Structure 1
Amino acid sequence: MPSPALRQTAIVPPATTDLVPESPRLRLVGSDGDLDITSDLHVSPASDYPHSIGARRPWMTWACLISSMIVGIILTTLTGCHWASGSQNTQGAAMYNQGQYTGAMEQFRKAIASNPADPDGYYNLAATTHRLGNQRQDPNLIRQSESLYNQTLDHDPNHVDAHRGLAVLLVDSGRPDRAFALMKNWAAQNPTLAEPRIELARLYEEHGEPQVALKYLEDAVQTDANNPRAWLALARLREQSGDPVQALQNYQQALQVGGGALGPNSAMATERIAALSRQINSARDAQLNSGGTQMATPAFGSTRY
């Protein structure tokens, strides 16, 4: 089974001065109203302003200014880390696509160093190490990739691609029971999430149990009726099982809820809708032309319910 595709973290432009909002003009409140600290300010003794916090404690103004500066520095630093990590992930993905796996791994290590909290860096390194381990038949690399997949899930417990990649690795290394346990535990911990059920369905289908896969996909669309991946997977499985009417409806639902989110699969779904429509219309025309006063029920099922 192929390793899943790499994920690229979105690149954020380098931090500039306009990313940190201009500090507002702080105002000290006196008994006679607001006092602009940008103008000449004479602070009277505290006893003269029993209710004026700013005037009684001028050090608080400096504390606010210092706090604002610290927050600005932190935000700028975090933005810079995110940009560096995103750039390194993108460079690594480009090298991966060119077959330069060693160079890609180096870029992904840099991405992790730039932003240790970004799960995509760990996932990209895991997937590349997995690919290289399979290519070289190197058990050490396979063990490293397993550890990296788990680190990805430590940072993002619902990382779909990491679950998929780890399941593939477990099956390939002779531990399919662990792969099923991984997916079932994920589904049990996320009863409102469709993705674990989609991945469980894929796993069952790959192991020759399409009916169990169908059940999980039906659960997935009931769990999240707006998940285009679930509808698309259900449509494909129903088409393969010889149910073109339901498959057609599911492809249409996938396009309706998915729109542009389907990406390249949008064109595929559109093509399948056209092909299934022709198939269904041809079957109906053939039945009408076969004679008789009553049109027979289509062999592929009814659309009444």
Structure 2
Amino acid sequence: MTASHTTRHLYVAAMLLMLAATSSGCRWNSMGQNSMGVRLYEQGRYNEALQQFQSAQAADPSDPDSYYNLASTYHKLGIGQKDAKMIEQSEALYNQCLDLQPNHVDCHRGLAVLLVESGRKDSALKLLNNWSTTNPGLSDAKVELARLNQELGQTQLAERYLDEALAMNPQDPRAWNARGQLREASGDLGQALQNYQQSLALNSLQGDLYQRIASLNVKIAQNTAAGITQNTGAWTAQNPQPGTASPPRY
């Protein structure tokens, strides 16, 4: 290999390293700005959060989370202020997020809620049904269909979707969490507690779920003291005990 070839290869390698470092730096900047934006959002400082999310988007235009964070903030402001332009902007950003990451769970959830809140329930259901149809083995899509149907008062349909989600992936903590919410809403506190505990066993990084379990334990204790019998919710073929296989079907 000649000196000129060696120099040229080193130059190309150096350029590739520089590009990788630049890309990595952009991603780190974007992550930091998104994290700061989330903290501001949680404090109710929405305009400041928007500035951070916009900076994150500019630092890394390929990061779907930046689009989701912007969409979520405009969603919050648009619905709260009944601002049609903000709602429209939120919807566009949700769709940009999904263009970059078609299976972005939070983005599907956010867009579906936005559609319902802006009077387009059928469009919300169509969005999630299309997602589920396109990804027939994805339990996340079934969980979101269940959550939306529960919120729309279709509890039996929500149960069916959760059955399908857990049949696809019995280790899905979001599905167990959603099932717990269904059980709690129906007054079956004992079963809800078991479902929440199963979700937490699969994913311990659910801070709000610890609080929900603590609150549920208090309710159960109060009911017990008052002599109210708890329905513990026996395990069934549709609601198998965690860690055991469903019975075969003939």
Q: Check if 1:128 corresponds to 2:73.
A: yes
Q: Check if 1:140 corresponds to 2:85.
A: yes
Query: d(CA) in 2 for partners of 1:97 and 1:255?
Result: 23
Instruction: Identify if the C-alpha distance between structure 1 residues 66 and 299 changes in structure 2 by more than 3 Å, giving closer, same or farther.
Output: closer
1:1-305 to 2 correspondences below 5 Å: 54=1, 57-243=2-188, 246-258=191-203, 260-269=204-213, 272=216, 302=234
RMSD: 2.9
Code of the aligned partner of 1:206: E
Query: Runs of 5+ in structure 2 lacking a partner?
Result: 238-250
CA contact (8 A) 1:125 1:148 kept: yes
- The TM-score with structure 2 as length reference comes to 0.82
**Percent of aligned positions with the same letter in both sequences?**
43
Return the offset for 1:134: 1.9
CA offsets per residue over residues 82-138 of structure 1, 9 Å max, x none? 122122222322332333322322221111111000011111111111112123221
Find the residue that maps to 2:205 and give its secondary structure.
helix
Query: d(CA) in 2 for partners of 1:304 and 1:116?
Result: 47
Find the residue that maps to 1:162 and give its secondary structure.
helix
Q: Which moved more, 1:166-175 or 1:271-280?
A: 271-280
Instruction: Identify if the C-alpha distance between structure 1 residues 271 and 118 changes in structure 2 by more than 3 Å, giving closer, same or farther.
Output: same
Structure 1 or 2: more helix by fraction: 2
Instruction: Identify if the C-alpha distance between structure 1 residues 235 and 134 changes in structure 2 by more than 3 Å, giving closer, same or farther.
Output: closer
Find the residue that maps to 1:261 and give its secondary structure.
coil
Code of the aligned partner of 1:235: G
Query: d(CA) in 2 for partners of 1:270 and 1:221?
Result: 25
Code of the aligned partner of 1:184: N
How many residues were matched structurally?
237
Query: Runs of 5+ in structure 1 lacking a partner?
Result: 1-53, 287-297
Find the residue that maps to 1:180 and give its secondary structure.
helix
CA contact (8 A) 2:189 2:216 kept: no
Q: Which moved more, 1:191-200 or 1:148-157?
A: 191-200
